[in-house]
Amino acid sequence: MTLLVVEGLTKRFGGVAAAKDVSFTLDAGEMLAIIGPNGAGKSTTFNMVGGQLKPDSGTIALDGRSIAGLPARAIWKAGVGRTFQVAQTFVSMTVAENVQMALLSHHGRSRSLFRDARALHRDEALGLLAGVGMRQDAERSVSELAYGDVKRVELAVALASRPKLLLMDEPTAGMAPRERSGLMALTAEVARTNRIGVLYTEHDMEAVFAHADRVLVLVRGEIIAAGTPEEIRANPRVKQVYLGEAGTEAAMRARRKAVA
Amino acid sequence: MDPSFLVLQALSGFASASSQFIIASGLTIVFGVTRIVNFAHGSFYMLGAYLAVTIVPRLLDVSYSPAAFFLGVLLSALLVGLIGVAVEVLLLRRIYRVPELFQLLATFGVVLIVEDLVLKVWGPVDIAGPRAPSLRHGVEILGQRFPAYELVLIAVGPLVLGLLWLLMHRTRFGVLIRAATQDREMVGALGVNQARLFTLTLFLGASLAGLGGALQIPRLPANAHMDLSVITDAFVVTVIGGMGSVPGAFVAALLIGQLQAFGILIFPKVTLVLVFALMAVVLVVKPWGLFGRPEAASGRVMPPEGIPGLRRFRPAETVLAGLAVLALLAVPLLGDAYKVKVATEILVFALAAFSLQFLVGVGGLVSFGHAAYFGLGAYAAGLLVTGPFKAPMELALVAAPLAAGIGAALFGFFIVRLSGIYLAMLTLAFGQIVYAICFQWVEVTGGDNGVVGVWPSSWASGRTTYFYLVAALSLTAIVALRRVIYAPFGYTLRAARDSATRAEAIGLDVRTHRWLAFTLAGAAAGLAGGLYAFMKGSIDPTLTGIPLSIDFLVMVLVGGIQTVMGPLVGAAFFHALKDAVMPLTEFWRLLLGLAIIATVLAFPRGLAGAAESLRGRKAGLEPVEASA
């Protein structure tokens, strides 16, 4: 079932076209990775889908509903959760409170004036934290967590609204290698069990080739290739402009690991 | 209308634009390089005027010539520049890394100190300056006489602009100023001697303020109120032009000069309001001013100022809070009438300070004009019971928070569109609008004198009864606000403060929540204002002014911006201290200024914050993060 349909998405910054006529689709439960060199327009594409940027032209439909150009909070209401390249959390709150904030918003209670916030949706928050392996850290301040754990909390926050689509902008950036594969495996599992579509950008080729169902290759704002990891690996043009020899080797390693 | 009249009106607009530009250019340059909004800039201006009225007549005694006059003016400007250097070396240098709220307060401490020193040195009487030789008379323009000195002023503005342009583009110092304005960290990373750059910048900025003041002496006697009036104007010019932009300041000064020159013909009563309305419009359309640029992202995530985390009262604290309330409630039983009055005031200010902490500590919205809402409440209550309505106190006390809430909703609509230093400046500007209305609309507000005869209903007119009425309302409001801080709404405000991006990404409408918070805090301050009016029996414009706004901020700061209940302690401590010390000394402002600066330097977390750290240290733990 097709969840997300993006057609002809274009964004210019001054004279530079950061995204040119970008089109793709994403199915429920599918993991779609966008890769490309620095400045290829990954984050731009991403932020247009997430509502942080307004597209100049093009359409974005989620479950048949147009979400292009809506503010971030409306896109969230339509069923899109996201994580950021540099994790965005509420640093003055505990791990549990971060997730509770998302649940308060999800249940439309952010304007409640006299209820005790810490007691609201606590069990649900702890359940979500258990899902990302952060249940034991629920009472710690999010500001004292290791970065990998912050990313897990962010994932729990993004999942709190039971999104249909999850956007993850470089989910493993800044993490140790072991944490990376753990987070991606977790994401893949959550996505497949709950039929959540996942769109992610990534620099780490292992994270891409071990977990993506399909891969888009973006260069200078344009999609130059799309297909399964095998097809992308075999595509000579991709090899040439993006992966290089080192990248191809990493892809092979990841493949062996995934098979083993 | 006579065209020659219009030309003359425009010329006088240009003359005032010149003066405003000279002053504002210094402020904007200093801000560009140091990122400090320097309240003391107004003091530099005032010192320029006082030095000039002292130096220029002596020089004119030696040689009665325009050269001697302008030499004296320049000399005064340079002396003020040296004072600026002293302020940089002694104070600013130590607070470049302190949160901006504290920077503003510390420079306001300088304002207070200079005010008292000026009074001591030059006395309370205004001092008229000499007029410039050969420029004493009028020049005939289109059949009308126009003061020759004003023509000189018109020329001085563009001259200063030209000289600054040369300085900025033809000297190494100027290039560094421009570079630092664009990216201070990069300039530091490139190995520029920042300390010297900053000191020289302060010298330049203060000299310009001093020049502005010294040039005023033939038009305006030197007086001890020049500092605050000019600093508001200079803020407005810089903010409209874009903070850090010299050409922006020039354009903004021209706009304002003409707006005032012609606005006075159309709306003689509301020229001040016109200027601030212009500012509000510009900021809504171009949030960084006409020529300003968004703050360059510094690349590091700053921990938010304000309350870092919430926890419940510990048992000992519950007991302590209960005892404090009981002690306060027992004041009428133990103390005399005077003590009851002081206790009533403390309760009122505690509510006002707490409502400000709700904005600053929880919402991260630094308001420099919170007295506006306190004053709106006071005026609504006072005018209702004294005006044609002769309403009873009970109705007036309902109207006070309502009126202040409506005012806060109106101003807040614009304010929450901005952030950081621009937000603070806009709150200050709106505060000045309220002040201007109270001051200028004499028929309704009684102008400078205000309105007397604001007495409570007869059942509450006894001092003790009124004390208990204030205690009941004030404590209820404080408890309710505290509850809101711990409720989803308070959490949402804190979430938006911590990361607006994340808040929007989980569906929270940051702007609307902030607007509601601003309205709520305004209403609470309005209730405090209404209660205050009936206690004092009168209302006057000082209830809406900057000094009272600063008092509220000092209460929050002294009590600890990172604590929930600290501002209440701060209000009690500050007001009791003010009440005890003020009658004993003619240097209250000087002492207060020194105390503010010392507090900022020694405990940037405030008294209650320092106590928490101490407790944490005693227990052998890291400083406690959460606050109750």
Q: Are strands A2-13 and A57-62 parallel, antiparallel or unpaired?
A: antiparallel
pLDDT of the residue at B121: 94
A110/B489 touch (CB, cutoff 8 Å), yes or no: yes
The DSSP line for B234-267 is: HHHHHHHH-TT-HHHHHHHHHHHHHHHHHHHHH-
The DSSP line for chain A is: -EEEEEEEEEEEETTEEEEEEEEEEEETT-EEEEE-STTSSHHHHHHHHHTSS--SEEEEEETTEE-TT--HHHHHHTTEEEE-SS----TTSBHHHHHHHHHHHHTT-TT-SSS-GGGTTHHHHHHHHHHTT-GGGTTSBGGGS-HHHHHHHHHHHHHTT--SEEEEESTTTT--HHHHHHHHHHHHHHHHHHT-EEEEE-S-HHHHHHH-SEEEEEETTEEEEEE-HHHHHH-HHHIIIIIHHHHHHHHHHHHHHHH-
Give the percent of chain B with pLDDT over 70. Answer: 94
Instruction: Say which residue, A13 or B358, is predicted with more confidence.
Output: B358
Residue B628 pLDDT exceeds 80? no
Q: Are A184 and A83 in contact (CB under 8 A)?
A: no
Give the percent of chain B with pLDDT over 90. Answer: 48
pLDDT of the residue at B622: 40
Helix (H) or strand (E) holding B508: none
A94 touches chain B (CB under 8 A): yes
One-letter amino acid for residue A46 of the chain: F
B506/A161 touch (CB, cutoff 8 Å), yes or no: yes
Contacts of B48 (CB under 8 A, 6+ apart): B76, B77, B80, B209, B210, B211, B212, B213, B214
Contacts of B144 (CB under 8 A, 6+ apart): B4, B5, B8
B295 touches chain A (CB under 8 A): no
Compute how many other C-beta atoms are within 10 angstroms of the C-beta atom of residue A57.
Answer: 12
A72 touches chain B (CB under 8 A): yes
Instruction: List, for chain A, all residue ranges whose pLDDT scores fall below the cut of 50.
Output: none
Of A76, A93, A118, the CB nearest to B506: A76
A156 touches chain B (CB under 8 A): no
Instruction: Say which residue, A255 or B191, is predicted with more confidence.
Output: B191
Model confidence pLDDT, tens digit, residues B560-583: 888 888 899 999 989 988 888 888
Q: Which pTM was predicted? A: 0.86
Measured between CA atoms, the residue of chain A closest to residue B626 is: A92
Compute how many other C-beta atoms are within 10 angstroms of the C-beta atom of residue B75.
Answer: 17
Task: Tell me the shortest Cα–Cα distance from A234 to chain B, in angstroms.
Answer: 37
Delimit the domains of chain A by residue range: 1-70+197-260
Of A72, A92, A100, the CB nearest to B309: A92
Q: What are phi and psi of B111, to 5 degrees?
A: -55, -50
Residue B373 pLDDT exceeds 60? yes
Model confidence pLDDT, tens digit, residues B140-179: 887 778 888 999 999 999 999 999 999 988 888 888 888 8
Cα A248 to Cα A239: distance, rounded to the nearest angstrom: 7
Residue B4 pLDDT exceeds 90? no
Q: Of B34, B71, B42, nearest to B209 (Cα)?
A: B42
Model confidence pLDDT, tens digit, residues A106-137: 999 888 888 888 889 999 999 999 989 899 99
Q: What are phi and psi of B131, to 5 degrees?
A: -90, 160
Cα angle A104-A198-A251, degrees, rounded to a multiple of 5: 140
State chain B's maximal CA–CA distance in angstroms.
83
Contacts of B70 (CB under 8 A, 6+ apart): B132
User: What would you report as the CA-atom Rg of chain A, rounded to the nearest whole angstrom?
Assistant: 18
A90/B495 touch (CB, cutoff 8 Å), yes or no: yes
Model confidence pLDDT, tens digit, residues B382-417: 999 998 888 999 999 999 999 999 999 999 998 898
Measured between CA atoms, the residue of chain B closest to residue A86 is: B301
Q: Locate tokens 């805090």: which residue? A: B521
> What sign does the dihedral B571-B415-B495-A104 (CA atoms) show?
positive
A78 touches chain B (CB under 8 A): no
Is residue B589 classed exposed, middle or buried when 0-12, 13-18 and 19+ CB atoms within 10 A define those classes? buried
Q: CATH: 3.10.129.10, 3.40.50.300, 1.20.1250.20, 1.10.10.10. Which one for A1-70+197-260? A: 3.40.50.300
A121 touches chain B (CB under 8 A): no
Q: Are strands A165-169 and A80-83 parallel, antiparallel or unpaired?
A: parallel
Measured between CA atoms, the residue of chain A closest to residue B515 is: A111
Q: Of A112, A167, A172, nearest to A148 (Cα)?
A: A172
Of B497, B504, B506, the CB nearest to A102: B506
Of A76, A84, A112, the CB nearest to B488: A112
Delimit the domains of chain B by residue range: 3-135+142-285, 315-618
In this prediction, residue B604 has a pLDDT band, given cuts at 50, 70 and 90, of: low
Cα A235 to Cα A228: distance, rounded to the nearest angstrom: 11
Cα A221 to Cα B195: distance, rounded to the nearest angstrom: 44
A157/B507 touch (CB, cutoff 8 Å), yes or no: no
B508 touches chain A (CB under 8 A): yes
Model confidence pLDDT, tens digit, residues B269-327: 667 778 777 887 887 788 888 888 776 544 344 556 778 888 888 888 889 989 999 99
Q: How far is CA A169 from CA A80, A82, B289, B459, B535, in A?
A: 13, 8, 33, 66, 58
Model confidence pLDDT, tens digit, residues B86-136: 999 999 888 887 777 788 888 989 999 999 999 999 999 999 988 888 887
Q: Of B246, B234, B82, nearest to B164 (Cα)?
A: B246
B490 touches chain A (CB under 8 A): yes
- Give strand ranges (E) for B135-254: 138-141, 144-147
Contacts of B513 in chain A (CB under 8 A): 110-111
